[in-house]
Structure 1
Amino acid sequence: MSLYCALAALACAPTARAAAARCWYENQVVVVGAEVMGVTGDFILDPATPHTELADSQAQAAGFADTELQGPVRLAGVTVPRAAVSVQTLDLRTGALPTPVAGVIGADVLKGYVLDVDFHPCRIRLSRPGHAPRFRALRTLPLSWIAGRPVVAAAVSDGPHAAGGGFSLGVGADTAVRVSDAAAAAPGAAKPKEAYPYGVLRPRLRAFSFAGGLVENLASGLVAAEDPALVGQIGAPILSRFRLRLDLARNRLMLAAPLKASPGGRKHVR
């Protein structure tokens, strides 16, 4: 991982008090306002992306010539002063969004913190360990780390075949489930590349098991294998059924019921 301020003991202590921040949940992708390397804009929030990224157009406009940078990232009242930032072309990833985004906030910046995500309405909070507000979880699942990203146990099946293991948490991914191409394929597809991220092919998956629940006949796709232990990715269409707490200091995922509107218009927790 690339959090360059001593992950242990959080030497990258925040320079401001953590606070809830508004986000946007559009086309099943979470987008949040942030500042990366002095560039302020809208960033995809995605723990399934191992490294924080700045769009090449934004980097060029800010005068950066290098593609590997190091500098401050500010998100939800927290500042990580010396984060690693990779300059990337993000046109394909942002094509489904109504407006361009400035980059992606990845797992390297989030590691060591507690990230709360509420999809409806969209709010996030980034807290230091021991400073997060109370969270009434319905289920708590252990997290581990594979290929630089937090993963949780889940399983998929196409009927005759099944695969289980570590799935990354794609808060910024718009497909319900993607399976590593080391464990699955898209036989018979005229354009197999379209089954990968940003492609148009969405083969139906027979079943997906996660957090004690079963989802059937859901849209899926493939993702390139980066580690044999990484079986796939859970996308926002599944994760948005919950309120999430990713406790990336204690390595656990906590799931709560979403907020619901009461008859008087106020929000309450079910």
Structure 2
Amino acid sequence: MRRRVAALILSLSLAGAARAGETACWFENGAVVAPAVIGDMAGDYVIDLSAPRTLLHETKAQMEGILEPELPLRVEVAGLKAQAVSVKVADLDARGAGFVTPIAGVIGMDVLAGHSVEIDFAACRLRIDQPWRARQQVVFPVAVVEGLPTITAGVSDGPTALRGAFAIDTASLAMMRLSTRGAAATGKLDMTARHKAPAKLRALSLGGVLAENVPANLTDDLPEGVTGALGTGLWARHRLRLAADARTLAIAP
């Protein structure tokens, strides 16, 4: 009887433990891409911590006979199994520009929220709910704004400066994308081309460190209260880990 009780307690404890794992990914066009499954549709999906919603490319949906603009589907990535996520079908041709193979969709924070997410850019590994090991690290406090984890940063174009909440963007080449609510630019910038950084900003300040002549772009897809997004031009030489409670972002060499 005692053995049965002990086995039951062990099984319950294991059931409550994180069971996600890790997968190889690749870093292309300024975006982290990993194998994943939405519904029964396996493919290459962009992993984007600055995306509030998970998206399915309408081309992929049409190939599978899906006509609804939004529907509940299970999502599997790096050992994580999320049931009945409301997935939006969207035209992702612009986001898929420049990739060697077609992008099937985007895995966003509606799937990843509540889980620790580690991206190791050097080895390109995506780890979910796995132990974090770092001899050296810098830890930033995180605030969640409209479902997006953000950290505080400041930017300047020389004459003016702006400070606010910036999303953690793992799917854009620009070191910084600034919301059009707080900025404008002369000339024509293609805000949908996230694999490009056509502009420059005078400076970016983050955690007391100043970067100058920052590759940048504008964006109009961030929610109210989010000033901009810090892209892979900033993260690509590091490992980053968003804590499961979304209160901290750890950066390690």
* Fold shared, TM-score > 0.5 on shorter chain: yes
SS in 2 for 1:58: helix
The runs of 5 or more residues in structure 1 that have no matched partner are 1-12, 258-270
State which of 66, 70, 73 in structure 2 corresponds to 1:71.
Answer: 73
Task: Give 2:7's aligned residue.
Answer: none
The runs of 5 or more residues in structure 2 that have no matched partner are 1-14
Q: Deviations over 1:204-224 (max 9, x none)?
A: 110111233221112111111
Aligned pairs (5 A) from 1:1-270: 17-127=19-129, 132-187=131-186, 189=187, 191=188, 194-198=189-193, 202-224=198-220, 226-257=222-253
SS in 1 for 2:43: strand
AA of the residue aligned to 1:176: M
User: Compared with structure 1, are the counterparts of its residues 105 and 204 closer, same or farther at alpha carbon in structure 2 (3 Å cutoff)?
Assistant: same
Paired with 1:74 and 1:227, the residues of 2 have a C-alpha distance of 26
The answer (yes or no) to whether the contact 2:197–2:215 under 8 Å persists in 1 is no
TM-score after normalising by structure 2: 0.88
Q: Deviations over 1:82-104 (max 9, x none)?
A: 21111011000010212211000
SS in 2 for 1:132: coil
SS in 2 for 1:237: helix
Paired with 2:136 and 2:147, the residues of 1 have a C-alpha distance of 26
The answer (yes or no) to whether the contact 1:52–1:104 under 8 Å persists in 2 is yes
* Alpha-carbon RMSD: 2.0
Paired with 1:146 and 1:219, the residues of 2 have a C-alpha distance of 24
Q: Quick check: which has more Rg, 1 or 2?
A: 2
User: Compared with structure 1, are the counterparts of its residues 32 and 14 closer, same or farther at alpha carbon in structure 2 (3 Å cutoff)?
Assistant: farther
Structure 1 residue 250, shift from structure 2 partner: 4.3
Task: Give 2:4's aligned residue.
Answer: none
Number of equivalences: 238
User: Compared with structure 1, are the counterparts of its residues 55 and 225 closer, same or farther at alpha carbon in structure 2 (3 Å cutoff)?
Assistant: closer
Q: Deviations over 1:124-170 (max 9, x none)?
A: 1011xxx5343445211111122321111111101111101100011
Paired with 1:78 and 1:17, the residues of 2 have a C-alpha distance of 7
The answer (yes or no) to whether the contact 2:117–2:243 under 8 Å persists in 1 is yes
TM-score after normalising by structure 1: 0.82
Q: Deviations over 1:181-202 (max 9, x none)?
A: 1211103x1x3xx252317671
Paired with 1:34 and 1:197, the residues of 2 have a C-alpha distance of 23
The answer (yes or no) to whether the contact 2:122–2:238 under 8 Å persists in 1 is no
Paired with 1:24 and 1:62, the residues of 2 have a C-alpha distance of 25
AA of the residue aligned to 1:229: G
